[in-house]
Amino acid sequence: MTMTERLLEATKEIWDGYNETPFVKGIADGSLDHEKFKYYMIQDYLYLLDYTKVFSIGTAKAKNLDAMRLFAGYIHSILDGEMDIHRAYMMRLGIAKEEAEQTPVALDNLSYTSYMLRVAYEEGEAEVMAAILSCALSYEFIAKKILAEYPAADKHEFYGEWVSGYASDSYHEDNEVLSDLMNRLTEDYSEKRKQHLVDIFTACSRYEAAFWDMAWEMRQ
């Protein structure tokens, strides 16, 4: 079992609950209130700003050129790729960039990003990867499960772009690169160090679940 497979196996129960949350169900069947999605988009935009910083710290922590290049590349990919989805939706929802950046970060969001940043500052490149992977891989998991249950979800007039973006081949290929690096970084890790990575990944997976509930309840 690879390290990535071990992480996913350890959090299977948490992940199986993602698509059962009312927020994700609303995206899947197209019934989600646009105000809830607007709230989510702003909070996720703020989340991505700190998520990108985790990759930046990973670049500094990298011990070889491949890892450094990957972390640095994802900074560009997020800021000029994934965030483009957010910017497009924000335009459709009438959210100005200034409005998003001046919105207070919700407590669940702040707790999540603070945890990831602490891991990044205090630990090594594999631990940074463990903190990053939960978000990256879970969005693909959620989008593909939505399509398995609602085959036309990627064609929905409003939420289709969100589903298709995270279910796309290009997003999957990016995740494969991340997973491969995690597996290579941990080939010689002791059982104790591997379990520590599982603990980090599990914490982040729990934060992901809380994020979906936060978005549904529009918690501050």
In terms of pLDDT, which residue wins out, 189 or 75? 189
Task: Say if residue 22's pLDDT is above 70.
Answer: yes
Task: Give the pLDDT score at 76.
Answer: 80
Query: Contact at 8 Å (CB) between 93 and 159?
Result: no
Task: Give the pLDDT score at 73.
Answer: 87
Q: Residue 197 corresponds to which tokens in the numbers above? A: 């990575």
Task: Give the pLDDT score at 81.
Answer: 66
Q: Where are the alpha helices (DSSP H) in 123-190?
A: 125-149, 160-166, 169-185
Catalytic residue numbers? 135, 208
Q: Residue 78 corresponds to which tokens in the numbers above? A: 């997020």
DSSP run (H or E) holding 46: helix 34-61
Confidence of residue 84 (pLDDT cuts 50, 70, 90): low
- The mean pLDDT of 148-155, rounded to a whole number, is 97
d(CA 111, CA 126): 21
CATH number for the domain that contains residue 156:
1.20.910.10
Counting the structural domains of the chain, the total is: 1
Q: Quick count: other Cβ atoms within 10 Å of Cβ 100?
A: 19
Task: Say if residue 21's pLDDT is above 70.
Answer: yes
Task: Say if residue 87's pLDDT is above 90.
Answer: no
Query: Contact at 8 Å (CB) between 139 and 175?
Result: no
Q: What is the pLDDT of residues 31-75, one digit of tens each?
A: 999 999 999 999 999 999 999 999 999 999 998 888 899 899 888
Task: Say if residue 217's pLDDT is above 80.
Answer: yes
Look up the domain containing 172 and give its range. Answer: 3-217
Q: Quick count: other Cβ atoms within 10 Å of Cβ 75?
A: 17
Question: Which pTM does this prediction carry?
Answer: 0.94
